[in-house]
Amino acid sequence: MVPLSRLFSSTLGRKYLMGASGLALVLFLVVHLLGNLTLYAGSGDPMNTYAARLHALGPALIALEVGLALTILLHIVTAFQVTYSAKAARPVDYENAKTKGGPSKNSVSSRNMIWTGVVLGVFLIVHVAQFRFGPSMEDGYTASVDGVMVHDIYRVVVEAFAQLKWVAFYVGSMLFLGFHLRHGYWSAFQSLGIINPRWSKPIHALGLVIALLLAFGFLFIPIYIYATQSGGGNS
């Protein structure tokens, strides 16, 4: 096995780490969206039950969260390293570069990966502070599921999305997520060196489908909650 320090010290190794961590984060997003689909139920029980089961994992959940945080950190650090070493080595700006054929890698998404990534980084800090470390059971956010007292995470989400400013923040951020994933998914396969010319077009097309499904799957949640729940506020 190649030691992590060796991977970090070469541009190819950093690209590999960036691609692998990016694909792991796509997997997290798919699982996260599937869990969040419970928010479309229109009542608190499905989401609160889902979250309570997750938190019942105890130390295993903490290990997963630490793994996730490290993966996000790895992705950010390698993305900055790759971007700035590529900029230093590139004689022609992307804006003026010509594509060599096949699916074009030179698009609005590809040219702005670092900026869409920075916006997502800011989104993530706000989002995790708001929902993961937001109002807790000690603050009175409790609900009863099958006679058991659990954290009313549904109420935390509904109270946020009852406010138009948060709906706008989430909808805007999810558009950035779509652009980031649109190029990122494709680029990860290239970085990992597993693009066979025959698969190039299907993988590129799948990237678009995944970007659209994830961005719009998340994006409609605040809109749906604002439209259906904002009058009531609580679960």
Cα angle 185, 186, 191 (rounded to 5 degrees) comes to 95
**Angle, nearest 10°, between helix axes 44-55 and 11-36?**
130
221 scored as a contact of ligand HEM (CB under 6 A): yes
Choices 28-36, 75-83, 194-202, 205-213 (CB under 6 A): range interacting with ligand HEM: 28-36
Q: Which of 12, 34, 37, 54 binds ligand HEM (CB under 6 A)?
A: 54
79 scored as a contact of ligand HEM (CB under 6 A): no
Q: Which two tokens stand for residue 68?
A: 């996730």
Beta bridge partners of 151: 142
**Angle, nearest 10°, between helix axes 200-229 and 164-191?**
170
Distances (CA, A) of 95 to 92, 100, 111, 112, 217: 8, 14, 8, 11, 31
Residues 179-198 that bind ligand HEM (CB under 6 A): none
| Interatomic CA distance for residues 187 and 141, integer angstroms | 42
142 scored as a contact of ligand HEM (CB under 6 A): no
Nearer to ligand HEM, 102 or 121 (CB): 121
| Interatomic CA distance for residues 208 and 181, integer angstroms | 8
132 scored as a contact of ligand HEM (CB under 6 A): yes
Q: Which of 170, 179, 189, 226 binds ligand HEM (CB under 6 A)?
A: 170
| Interatomic CA distance for residues 17 and 74, integer angstroms | 7
Q: How many CA atoms are closer than 13 Å to the CA of 7, on its beta-carbon side?
A: 16
Contact 113, 196 (CB under 8 A): no
Nearer to ligand HEM, 86 or 124 (CB): 124
Reported as type and span, the H/E element at residue 144 is strand 142-145
Choices 84-92, 100-108, 184-192, 215-223 (CB under 6 A): range interacting with ligand HEM: 215-223
CB of 177 to ligand HEM, least distance (A): 5
Q: Which of 20, 143, 162, 177 binds ligand HEM (CB under 6 A)?
A: 177
| Neighbour tally for 20: CB within 10 Å | 18
Choices 92-100, 127-135, 137-145, 204-212 (CB under 6 A): range interacting with ligand HEM: 127-135
Residues 98-117 that bind ligand HEM (CB under 6 A): none
65 scored as a contact of ligand HEM (CB under 6 A): yes
Q: How many residues does the chain have?
A: 235
CB of 204 to ligand HEM, least distance (A): 22
Nearer to ligand HEM, 17 or 29 (CB): 29
Given the rule CB under 6 A, which residues bind ligand HEM?
29, 32, 36, 39, 51, 54, 65, 68, 120, 124, 127-128, 131-132, 153, 157, 170, 177, 218, 221-222
